[in-house]
Amino acid sequence: SGIQLYNNRFVRVENIHTHHHALDGIMIGWANLTVDDPPTPHVLVNINSEYNCRQGLSWVGGRGLTAINCKFNHTGRAAFGSPPGAGIDIEAEVSVCRDGRFINCQFINNNGCAIVADSGDGGYTEFINCTIWGTTAWSVWASKPGLKFEDCTIHGSIVHGVGSDDPDLATQYRRCRIEDVDYQDKGCYRAGALVIHSGDNVLFEDCDIIAHKTKACYVDYPNREIFRRCRITHRWTDAPDHTFQSIFRGSHLEDVTFFESFDPAGADKRFSIIADGVTIGTGVHVAGPQTKWGNWSWGSVGDVPQTTNATASAEP
């Protein structure tokens, strides 16, 4: 690896280009750390960690990691690569990962996931105004609690999400733009839908979800996700006729507008937004006319009636 930082506190690394290493551009850890131990602050500023074989950044332990204006791009895109191949892997190893914060960072065109949190006692990280772009794997693989995304641009499919009775621990997306846009000639990772998330109190708030060549949302039982003040646009003209463009099962929606923008060649097609066991608050609207609420044939467009139990949504 290019930079290994183990069992350190009060570290600042700045203006480094760490690239083309056989393992990670950067690895940060602290063995046997617990949540009751003192913080272990690390700050990364203007770090370009690109074209490394295994990860741009492996965070395997610590309490307090802040990265500002950093790039964790193109992992596994040089001569060699090895799994997981992520931009960042939050993977506590006999340790904990807590209090992560990434500001104005990039996670672009990695062979694996752009951002993955899947193993160990980790998660608990904020991503603020970041660009997250999956080309051959998921843009976000969120399987640990406390992941929050604010004002981020996310290109490519995101998966899992972690639910919790405590809304602060559930996966959250606020003011994010989630859209399938190709990266140069490398493409964009599309896996059946842009948003594939499930979990109680998983939150999408003030987000734009724009699906060009895939379904927009696949949100399944048995959990209660929250979509609040979101704009969801269906543009997948090549979808099979009479299929759904989004599906919500068990979710809560309020102030959500569904738009559509299909090519004229698909003007005769009809689509649906499937809603099973959902609760509807105020301001849910389907613009239509090709995509209808409930069923492609007998479904409705316009305002969706509020359900009687709509006020039961959590307030993260």
> What is the rounded average pLDDT for all residues in the chain?
96
User: Region 263-275: what's the mean pLDDT?
Assistant: 95
User: Region 116-136: what's the mean pLDDT?
Assistant: 98
Token digits of residue 180: 């399938």
Contact between 177 and 211 under an 8 Å Cβ cutoff? The reply is no
Residue 152's contacts (CB-CB under 8 Å, 6 or more residues apart) are 127, 128, 129, 130, 131, 132, 173, 176, 177
pLDDT at residue 255 greater than cutoff 80:
yes
Contact between 129 and 149 under an 8 Å Cβ cutoff? The reply is no
Give the global pTM.
0.95
Q: Is the dihedral of CA 306, 308, 314, 315 positive or negative?
A: positive
pLDDT at residue 222 in the model = 78
Strands 302-303 and 285-286: antiparallel
pLDDT at residue 311 greater than cutoff 60:
no
Residue of 68, 82, 159 lying closest to 115 (CA atoms) = 159
Residue of 199, 297, 304 lying closest to 250 (CA atoms) = 199
pLDDT at residue 313 in the model = 47
pLDDT at residue 30 greater than cutoff 60:
yes
Residues facing 45 on adjacent strands: 14, 68
pLDDT at residue 312 greater than cutoff 70:
no
User: Region 178-186: what's the mean pLDDT?
Assistant: 97
pLDDT at residue 315 in the model = 53
pLDDT at residue 123 in the model = 97
DSSP code, position 240: P
User: Region 258-262: what's the mean pLDDT?
Assistant: 98
Residue type, 306: Q
If DSSP codes are grouped into helix, strand and coil, which group holds residue 312? helix
97-127: string of b/e by CB count within 10 Å (b at 16+)? bbbbbbbebbbbbbbbbbbbbbebbbbbbbb
pLDDT at residue 80 in the model = 86
Token digits of residue 288: 């239509």
